[in-house]
Amino acid sequence: MAMSLQTPDKIRTLQRKLYRKAKAEPAFRFYLLYDKICREDILYHAYRLARANAGSPGVDGVTFARIEAAGVVEWLAGLREELVSKTYRPQPVRRVMLPKPGGGERPLGIPTIRDRVVQTAAKLVLEPIFEADFEDSAYGYRPNRGGGRAVKEVHRLICRGYTDVVDADLSGYFDSIPHSDLLRSVARRVVDRHVLHLIKMWLKAPVEERDGNGKRRMHGGRKATQGTPQGGVASPLLSVIYMNRFLKHWRLTRRGEAFRAHVISYADDFVILSRGYAEEALAWTRTVMTKLGLTLNEAKTSVRNARQEHFDFLGYTFGPEHFRKDGHWYLGASPSRKSVQRLKNKVSDLLVPGEMGTWPDVRDRLNRLLRGWSAYFGYGTRLQAYRAVDNHVYDCVRHFLARRHNEPGRGTRRFSRDYVYGEGGVMHLRRLHIGPPSKAVR
């Protein structure tokens, strides 16, 4: 299914028109968009995108397999009829708690498949309009502006001397976005009341939680005044729209010049890189965030001097590094310890004793995991991180194969490194480590 996920020409043409209109006329407000969200081709493409992302069913228990058994065309026709006749109402969002890597839990809201499809259709139409308005410093949940580009930009700026860093963290950003202000931000561009009503309904959808005994508890709903569920298709776009208010205010009040600084933002995660004015930038940010109804997590927000201390951002650690050969130092970017540990945990979870799959199947899943990780962590000084991962992978694979083949002892003779990374077909990250680390000598 994923092979044909390219945006059809007709939809791409519409998106281009909307983007160009929005870019050319910053004050223009769009008033005929709802009929485009209801278009058959847009709903069908939205279904295919939702299907490619797979994911669990929502509160109604309806799966993609069930929809396909009954017929996708009929199912989409029914959904379109609800939209056109304005009888569509979103169902409650199923909330599950995911463990956070550093401890604690993160709430994830899972809408039903029908709601995910309508949200994806709305995103196909709305994203080009807001994309024209987003600041250059906004990364994340945007086409071609992922975490990798933000990491490179942070590294480039600290190497240019912007080493006084505000390492910021917002408390429960997705859960605290005020609905009225968010809808006002959307309405600056969109005056189609049916589209605004759709977004409002998604924001006000009740949240269903079940305890350990399966007992159902509902909260939120019409009375809710803040929050957009993490896990919803529309939420990332809405979260960037709201964060853009902060970034736009930064630009319009010329904070970059005042604090000799740059902001790099990835959804709710952001850093301010300054030349000597980090404390002032933090104080200003605290005030502005309060006006936006948001709160800085003081325990996780700090000011650092990147020439002497390290800070983490988007899975990377930035700060002073030393060359082993001659001891001179440079400002580096490398995969953080947490990121390496997270991957090690995933590798361990994959190669558990109870895994009954064939070795080629297990190996392919392992290689997919390693390939995905190294695609993102393929920048900066990474030899040490790759070495740590390779050692862990070798140990886990050797244990796994020795157990499976009832090999006595630790299995090092039969399953040597050369075997695991040769005949065994496991991906060797250090072999991907090509050329010298990217560096900036200071």
Report pLDDT digits (tens) over 281-311: 999 999 999 999 999 999 999 999 999 999 9
pLDDT tens digits for range 263-280: 999 988 899 999 999 999
**Domain of residue 381, residue span:** 336-431
Render pLDDT for 327-350 as a digit per residue (tens, 0 to 9).
788 899 999 999 999 999 999 999
- Summarised one tens digit per residue, pLDDT across range 351-375 is 988 888 888 999 999 999 999 999 9
Helix axes 179-187, 193-203, angle to 10 degrees: 160
* Burial (Cβ within 10 Å: 0-12, 13-18, ≥19) of residue 348: middle
In a domain, 7, yes or no: no
Closest of 41, 42, 21, 20 to residue 31, by C-alpha: 21
| pLDDT band (50, 70, 90) for residue 95 | confident
What is the mean pLDDT of the segment spanning 163-186?
A: 93
CB-CB contact of 194 with 86 (8 Å):
yes
- Residue 144, pLDDT > 50, answer yes
- Inter-CA distances, 16 with 12, 128, 409, Å: 6, 7, 63
Residue 54 has pLDDT above 90, yes or no: no
Predicted model pTM: 0.88
Percent of the chain with pLDDT over 70: 94
Our measurement of the distance from residue 220's CA atom to the centroid of its chain's CA atoms, rounded to an integer in Å, reads 24
Which residue has better confidence, 54 or 378? Answer: 378
Write phi, then psi, for 230 (nearest 5 degrees): -70, 125
- Determine the Cα angle at 245 with ends 241 and 247, to 5°: 105
Q: Is 135 left (phi over 0), alpha (psi -120 to 50) or beta?
A: beta
Q: Which residue has the higher pLDDT, 335 or 412?
A: 335
- Residue 368 counted as domain residue: yes
Q: Tokens representing 33?
A: 């968009």
How many domains, the chain? Answer: 1
Mean pLDDT throughout 363-388? 93
Q: What is the mean pLDDT of the chain?
A: 90
- Predicted confidence band of residue 437 (pLDDT cuts 50, 70, 90): very low
Q: pLDDT-based confidence at 36, cuts 50/70/90?
A: very high
Q: How confident is the model at residue 441 (pLDDT cuts 50, 70, 90)?
A: very low
> From the centroid of its chain, how far is CA 250?
23
Is 78 domain-assigned?
no
Counting Cβ atoms within 10 Å, is residue 163 exposed (0-12), middle (13-18) or buried (19+)? Answer: buried
Q: Looking at the domain assignment, is residue 22 inside a domain?
A: no
pLDDT of residue 340: 96
Q: Determine, yes or no, domain membership for 378.
A: yes
Lowest-confidence pick of 143-152, 175-184, 226-235, 285-294: 226-235
Within a domain: 400? yes
Q: What percent of the chain has pLDDT over 90?
A: 69
Residue 3 has pLDDT above 80, yes or no: no
Supply the pLDDT for residue 433: 62
149 within a domain of the structure (yes/no) = no
Q: Give one word for 305, left, alpha or beta, with left for phi > 0 and alpha for psi -120 to 50.
A: beta
| 36 within a domain of the structure (yes/no) | no
Residue 59 to residue 218: CA distance in whole angstroms: 12
